[in-house]
Copies of this chain bind each other. A is one copy, B any other.
Amino acid sequence: MADPMYRQIAEDLRRQIEAGELPPGAQLRTELELREKYNASRNTIRDAIKWLITRGLVETRPGQGTFVIETIVPYVTSLTGNPTTASGGEGTSYKPEVEARFRKASDTLPQVGIEEAAEPMATEMALAEGTSVVSRHQQRYIDGTPWSLQTSFYPMDLVQKGAVRLIQAGDITEGTVAYLRESAGIKQAGYRDTITVRAPDMNETAFFRLPDDGRISVVEQRRTAYSDDGRPVRLTVSVYPADRNQFSVVVGQVPDNARVPDSPPSPAAAPESGGG
């Protein structure tokens, strides 16, 4: 009984949700009803609900009520693949990869721009600050839901070497990895991803339609691709909301039938650990 009242109320509701008594999508009783049930003030009820909101268990809709969050079927992006072709969320392979999993993919045409390299991009691409780079930006959807944002940067001298379609807004249907090889003789030898989880910025919150209290984080993947002479040829920054994305990494020999699960491991099923 050491816990404050709003926590006890929140834990009681949480228990009901996790026990399935309040299934996803179910409506909770109104604040006034809960106020009577728990014999607390409306503000205390609201404190309890806020606690549930920050844990992603419920959401409130003005004029409607409070509802148990409905889970999203995550999409699994593979981070490993053949580095000399396209893969791991790169270019042309996006749509077929998604649709192989019976989901509808769509994306916007690349928005092309020319920028000056600034930190930390300049260091990651081994360019002097202020060097011109081409940026190509795309928004991606799965089943009509905004799913990821991707911006690729290329050193401007690739255009001079023949890769002129980089600065045109159209799709490069064969994939930029193949296009750079054919047009400029750049052979991609490998890439390195750096993956960070952080809070979404305002643009991301708006595009992904995330709750604007920042409780859902995004995964930022920064992929630096290198040519066979060891020079960076591309930086691709992809941003994925954490509530609808998973990732997989495959190293070595793995049997084909070992499928990636289609739903996230539930916290309750994870090994109970810690607290030492």
Contact = CB atoms under 8 A, between A and B. Distances in A.
A194 interface: yes
A249 B80 contact: yes
A161 interface: no
Interface in A200-223: 201, 203-204, 206-208, 213-215, 217, 219-220, 222
Given A192-B250, A254-B190, A239 B273 contact: yes
Nearest to A274: B207
A230 B266 CA distance: 26
A62 interface: no
Contacts of A215: 54, 214-215
A224 to B, nearest CB: 7
Contact of A195 (B190, B196, B247, B251): B247
Interface string A264-276: 1111111111111
Number of copies: 2
Contact of A194 (B80, B246, B270): B246
A91 interface: no
B194 A252 contact: no
Chain B CB count within 10 A is highest, among A126, A188, A214, for A214
Interface of A: 51, 54-56, 74, 76, 79-81, 83-84, 88, 108, 118-121, 123-124, 126, 135, 137, 139, 149, 151, 153, 188-199, 201, 203-204, 206-208, 213-215, 217, 219-220, 222, 224, 226, 228, 230, 232, 237, 239, 242, 245-255, 258, 260-261, 264-276
